[in-house]
Amino acid sequence: MTGDQFVTGKNPITKRKGWWDNLVGPNKILDTNKYFIICTNVLGGCMGTTGPSSINSATSKPYGMEFPIFTIKDMVNLQLELIKSLSIKKLFSVIGGSMGGMQVLEWAASYPNMLYSAIPIATSYRHSAQNIAFHEVGRQAIMNDPEWHKGNYYNQGNKPRHGLSVARMIAHITYLSEGAFQKKFGRDMQSKVLSWGFDADFQVESYLRHQGTSFVDRFDANSYLYITRAMDYFDLTNKYKGNLDHAFKKTKCKFLIVSFTSDWLFPSSESQSLVKALNKTASDVSYIEIESDKGHDSFLLEVKDFYDILSGFITGVARKLNL
Amino acid sequence: MTNLINQNLISSLISDNDKVLDIGCSSGELLYFLEKTKNIQGQGIEISHVGVKESVSKGLSVIQGDADEDLINFPDSTFDIVILSDTLQATHKPKEVLEQMLRIGKKCIICIPNFGYWKYRLQILFHGVMPVAKTLSEPWYSTPNIHLCTIKDFINLCEHLNISINEAYRNTKDNIKIIKKPKSYLNNLLSTEGIFILTKK
């Protein structure tokens, strides 16, 4: 959700590695020597594409809450415009995890003739009640921060730092797993003595606080509200009276669906429902549940089985297309 | 069953560009061979993580799934050929699996280990123990094969389900023989496994 267009190499703003740097690049699995890789910034974000923090030309002020509500489909439509402007007729593959995976599914359903293969990872065809619930807690934290000012904080000299930071802390918990937390932190302490108070005695607390505060510097609170809402509103079955398979009736591309055992945010059962729907349309589909104890974030990490499969699938698609 | 004889036999029964489903495709050797030699549109179902991983890594389309649960999702006559090689005996509901196969495939190729093979009969008769052999390599307490049958049992089930057996083959030591009377006493006694081509009546 918070990824930007700097998928690989060094991000010029944060100076950090691109968010999928271990996967994308020369001689990597998504090999930039072989493939032309396009990664866009997201509609409604704050890293280049128009969002709530952009200036509304009608008022010469940031949009704030005046920014229209947008959907996953709007994000994809914007990507489609980019693809058209690049004169690309058909994409070799559309790949993404989490919200990116939702975009992949939207591409496959809405523009079935525009892609040869689709790789939705750690995602779902609709946001679950639990996921909406977590998003709602995050949004409430932001909107209840006195510095939020109903979204008009841009000229207030301050911003809803605390609210956004808490939202990020909650979200970060959902990206990991019980096992990952335990393995990484256990009950390890910051110092040998307890504060007998509410300081960050445990390393896990300190880690979460750091995740929260560092996020505030690079992300806009209103963007967070809008983008989480777009995910909540996503449901591919909406148009088809609950029949997911109808969404893919015209889709002829090859699918690779991947889920991870410890991902409780987008559990394997969501991917399995997707596989069933694609079987109903007799689609060409591969599905695997990868064993990983790293939770939802597994798709961003170097998990060997995941990489082997991705590499094999991409090679297979290329072979079928005689590339 | 990935031995070369079966691979070549199955290959000879498949036409170029057929749409093929391999249920219990293991590491995908057969599908890979058929894609190379017959340019089939292959799809596999495999229960084991390792099998799916190896198959997809070969560029094959394989889903991690279960013959008992997942065949029901496919529409009628989706595939030209459905292959179930050395898998029926490991399913929980072999009868339902067989019915589903014939619903989703125009033609089905099925290989089963034959529990009526004379050596297996002798193992029970003289040693009083459950047969263990090359095609039934696990002992009774750890075998995934929970629904073993003989060729005669299998043919009885096909008759009961109104399935036609178009052709039957026997795997011998170094070749495959076509069987004129698959239900015969001798075939049931002398075959280590049965290979059948099935269609709906």
Average confidence (pLDDT) over A183-187 = 95
Q: Any catalytic annotation for residue A263?
A: yes
Q: Which of A254, A275, A308 sits opposite B57 (nearest CB)?
A: A308
Average confidence (pLDDT) over B33-61 = 95
Contact B56 A288 (CB under 8 A): yes
**Architecture (CATH level 2) of domain B4-114+150-200:** 3-Layer(aba) Sandwich (3.40)
Rounded to a whole number of angstroms, the distance from the CA of A18 to the nearest CA of chain B is: 26
Chain B residues close to A285, C-beta within 8 Å: 43, 61, 63
Can you give the pLDDT at residue A2?
75
Question: What residue type is assigned to position B147 of the chain?
Answer: H
Taking CA–CA distances from B51, the nearest residue in chain A reads A288
Domain ranges of chain B: 4-114+150-200
| Cα–Cα dist A276/B117, whole Å | 39
Is B123's pLDDT higher than 60? yes
Q: Any catalytic annotation for residue A31?
A: no
DSSP per-residue codes, A53-71: TSEETTTTEE-GGGSPP--
Chain A residues close to B43, C-beta within 8 Å: 284-285
Taking CA–CA distances from B75, the nearest residue in chain A reads A280
Rounded to a whole number of angstroms, the distance from the CA of B33 to the nearest CA of chain A is: 14
| Cα–Cα dist B28/B58, whole Å | 8
Q: Which of B41, B59, B63 sits opposite A313 (nearest CB)?
A: B59
Contact A313 B43 (CB under 8 A): no
Fold designation for A24-320: Rossmann fold (3.40.50)
Contact B56 A256 (CB under 8 A): yes
| Cα–Cα dist B66/B166, whole Å | 27
Chain A residues close to B57, C-beta within 8 Å: 308-309, 311-312
- Asked whether this complex has an ipTM greater than 0.85, the answer is yes
Q: Which of A275, A282, A312 sits opposite B59 (nearest CB)?
A: A312
Six token digits for residue A261: 């055992």
Can you give the pLDDT at residue B132?
81
Can you give the pLDDT at residue B8?
83
Model-level pTM? 0.94
Contact B53 A309 (CB under 8 A): yes
Average confidence (pLDDT) over B52-64 = 95
Confidence of residue A279 (pLDDT cuts 50, 70, 90): very high
Contact A282 B75 (CB under 8 A): yes
> What are residue B81's DSSP bridge partners?
B20, B107
Is B93's pLDDT higher than 90? yes
Among the residue ranges A145-159, A175-189, B99-113, B169-183, the one predicted with the least confidence is B169-183
Average confidence (pLDDT) over B15-37 = 95
Rounded to a whole number of angstroms, the distance from the CA of A34 to the nearest CA of chain B is: 17
Average confidence (pLDDT) over B1-22 = 83
List residues in chain B touching A: CB distance below 8 A: 41, 43, 49, 52-53, 56-65, 70, 73-75, 78
Q: Which of A4, A262, A296, A297 is catalytic?
A: A296
Q: What is the CA radius of gyration of chain A?
A: 20
Taking CA–CA distances from B57, the nearest residue in chain A reads A312
Chain B residues close to A311, C-beta within 8 Å: 57
DSSP per-residue codes, chain B: ---HHHHHHHHHT--TT-EEEEET-TTSHHHHHHHHHH--EEEEEESSHHHHHHHHHTT--EEE--HHHHGGGSPTT-EEEEEEES-GGG-S-HHHHHHHHHHHEEEEEEEEEBTT-HHHHHIIIII-S----SSS-S-TTT-S--S-B-HHHHHHHHHHTTEEEEEEEEE-SSSEEE-S-TTSHHHHHH-SEEEEEEEE-
> What are residue A287's DSSP bridge partners?
A257, B63
What mean pLDDT, rounded, does chain B reach? 91
Chain A residues close to B47, C-beta within 8 Å: none
Can you give the pLDDT at residue B176?
77
Confidence of residue B2 (pLDDT cuts 50, 70, 90): very low
Size of interface A-B (CB pairs under 8 A): 63
Can you give the pLDDT at residue B172?
67
CA B189, distance to chain mean position in Å, is 19
Contact A285 B43 (CB under 8 A): yes
Domain ranges of chain A: 24-320
Is B1's pLDDT higher than 60? no
Q: Any catalytic annotation for residue A296?
A: yes
Q: Which of B49, B57, B63 sits opposite A285 (nearest CB)?
A: B63
DSSP alpha helices (H): ranges in A86-187? 99-110, 129-143, 161-175, 178-184
Six token digits for residue B13: 């029964």
Q: What is the pLDDT of residues A36-93, one digit of tens each?
A: 999 999 999 999 899 999 999 999 999 999 999 999 999 999 999 999 999 999 999 9
Can you give the pLDDT at residue B177?
82
Q: Which of B41, B57, B73 sits opposite A312 (nearest CB)?
A: B57
Six token digits for residue A168: 């990020």
